[in-house]
A and B are shown apart, each in its own frame.
Chain A
Amino acid sequence: MNIIEIKNLTTTYNGHTAIKDISFNVKKGEYICLIGANGSGKSTLIKTIVGLNKKDSGEIVKNITPDKISYLAQNNLTDIDFPAIGKEIIMTGVQKRKSLPFYKKEDYQNFNEVCKLLDIDSIINKQISDLSGGQRQRIMLARALIRKPELLILDEPCSGLDVNITKEFYEILNKLNKEQGLTIIMATHDLDEVKSSDVRVICLATTIKFDGDINNWKEGE
């Protein structure tokens, strides 16, 4: 079953064409890595899928409710000195279009589950500015997972993080994909770190240059 169908999508970013006439489908349970050089259109495609960037032409069909889609941005652009603790930030992830602006008992249960899954109990009451880059990104992943998504879209989640933290982060994603059937679309430069997974690679350079299994992907193709 295709949960996302992208048909002849063209989109611009800052006045230039970032994505030109691309088409591909995303099946339920797939783990897709979008790769490509800087400026190849990876982030623009991610932002267009989640609705942060407007498309010029083409179609994005989502056979999934918006409540079941979650997103983890490239960089935490918000002020790192923001007076907020991890728990406050994670809980915002449960908020949905039609829900009342209050947290329910079930939301707190999901919070406990996600904290256990990501092993973040020790940092949830710390101010975000007191956390390391890796810890902050775990908090952001927890925020993305607390709404129990079926599709997780990530935009270079490990940029700026050290190798060990990056490896740990991808292990969590791999586990979520394998054990919980979470569909993942991720823009990344760290393809080496996800090589052990059963991953589909889409290489972008404004258009799609490669679309296939990670084992068939050759650098420089």
Chain B
Amino acid sequence: MEFFISLLQYPFMQRALICGIAISFCAALIGVILVLKRYSMIGHGLGEVGFAALSLALVLNLPQMYISIPIVIVASFIILVISQKKGESGDITIALVSTSALAFGVIITALSKGFNIDVYNYMFGSILTMSTGDVVISVCLSVLLVIAFVFFYNRLFMITYDENYAKVCGISVTFYQFLIALFTALVVVIGMRMMGTLLISSLIVFPAIIARRLTHSFKEMAVMSVAISILCFLFGLVISSLVNLPTGACIVVVYLVVLLISRVFGLLN
């Protein structure tokens, strides 16, 4: 622990800690809605879209965020809207959009100069390379998401529980779908730096899945999910610092252990 505390003296570690807590917070909140609406794999799908967007940004030599954010937002909205149509299921749409995007990403990368270190970092995460800009974006996103979540809490709950009833009541379901798609995309794009495109979905789904079995109401689940997410991130960061392993992977392992403990705890009760 002393070793970890000594690491906190370094600015890169401070940035990693702030970004990690902020992104874990956001991912856990949005994850509650996505898991309950059975869109658990959307994070994984959008991660692959993010990879394609990133490849494009690298080839065009443009700022990565400016390219990734709009592309992932559009993909997120497409997935949620198509999934609503009759006869289309969410997992099929996610599979189609994400694999197509991944294919484009690989082709773009192959046509340029092949994989480079930036793409590798985005695939597997590199929380220790977070910049001050990343810190600002992560904190701003957290604040925005909390404000939106609190302000629209009752509507989000209604739409998550029973979308048809919300439509009958005249609630603009499309607006809230867009809001969910927007925040999911932002969490994925910003979280990609921390967890990588291949592991970002774990940040979204694990806390919600763990919290779901331990709580009885939507509000409890949201609070518990955020708490689990931040604690697992901190443990993952400490473990990765101590054993010098990739942070993203360590966080996922911590989630897995907590999930197993929660299941055993659930069975005993």
Partners in one complex: yes
Whether A83 pairs with B215 at a CB distance below 8 angstroms is: yes
Interfacial chain A residues near B216, Cβ < 8 Å: 83, 85, 127
- A1 at interface, CB cutoff 8 A: no
Instruction: Please state if A127 and B217 are interface contacts (CB–CB under 8 Å).
Output: yes
**B169–A84 CB distance below 8 A:** no
Q: Which of A71, A77, A95, A127 contacts B171 (CB 8 A)?
A: A95
Of chain B, the residue at the smallest CB distance from A65 is B170
Which B residues are CB-close (under 8 A) to A51? 167-168
Is A50 located at the chain interface by the 8 A CB criterion?
A: yes
B161 and A101 contacting across the interface, CB-CB below 8 Å: no
CB neighbours (8 Å) of A91 from chain B are: 154
Interface size in chain A (residues, C-beta < 8 A): 32
Closest A residue, CB atoms, query B222 = A83
The residue of chain B having its C-beta at the shortest distance from the C-beta of A50 within the complex is B168
**Are A89 and B161 within 8 A (Cβ)?**
yes
Q: How far is the CA of A78 from the CA of B166 in the complex (A)?
A: 13
Are the C-beta atoms of A66 and B170 separated by less than 8 Å? yes
- When C-beta atoms are compared, the residue in chain B nearest to A69 turns out to be B168
Taken together as a complex, chains A and B put the C-alpha atoms of A67 and B152 apart, in Å, by 20
The minimal Cβ–Cβ distance linking A138 to chain B, given in whole angstroms, is 16
Size category of the B interface is 20 to 34
Q: A88-B217, A97-B171 are in contact. Are A82 and B165 (CB under 8 A)?
A: no
B170 touches A101 (CB 8 A): no
A69 to B170, CA, bound (A): 10
Is B118 engaged at the interface, CB distance under 8 Å to the other chain? Answer: no
Determine if B212 and A95 form an interchain contact, defined as CB atoms under 8 angstroms apart.
Answer: no
> Are B157 and A92 within 8 A (Cβ)?
yes
Q: Using an 8 Å CB-CB cutoff, how does the interface string of B102-138 with A read, 1 for contact, 0 for none?
A: 0000000000000000000000000000000000000
- Contact residues in B for A92 (Cβ distance below 8 Å): 154, 157-158, 161-162, 165-166
How long is the Cα–Cα vector from A97 to B173 in the complex, in angstroms? 10
Residue contact B36 to A79, C-beta cutoff 8 Å: yes
Question: A92-B154, A96-B169 known; A83 and B218 CB under 8 Å?
Answer: yes
**A67/B170 in contact, CB under 8 A:** yes
Distance in angstroms from B131 CB to nearest chain A CB is 36
Q: Which residue of A lies closest to B208 (CB)?
A: A83
Q: Are B161 and A84 in contact (CB under 8 A)?
A: yes
Query: Chain A contacts of B151 at CB under 8 A?
Result: 101
Measuring CB to CB, which residues of chain B are less than 8 angstroms from any residue of chain A?
Answer: 36, 86, 151-155, 157-158, 161-162, 164-172, 212, 215-221
When A and B form their complex, which 4 residue pairs have the shortest distance between CB atoms, in order from nearest? A97-B170, A92-B158, A127-B216, A101-B155
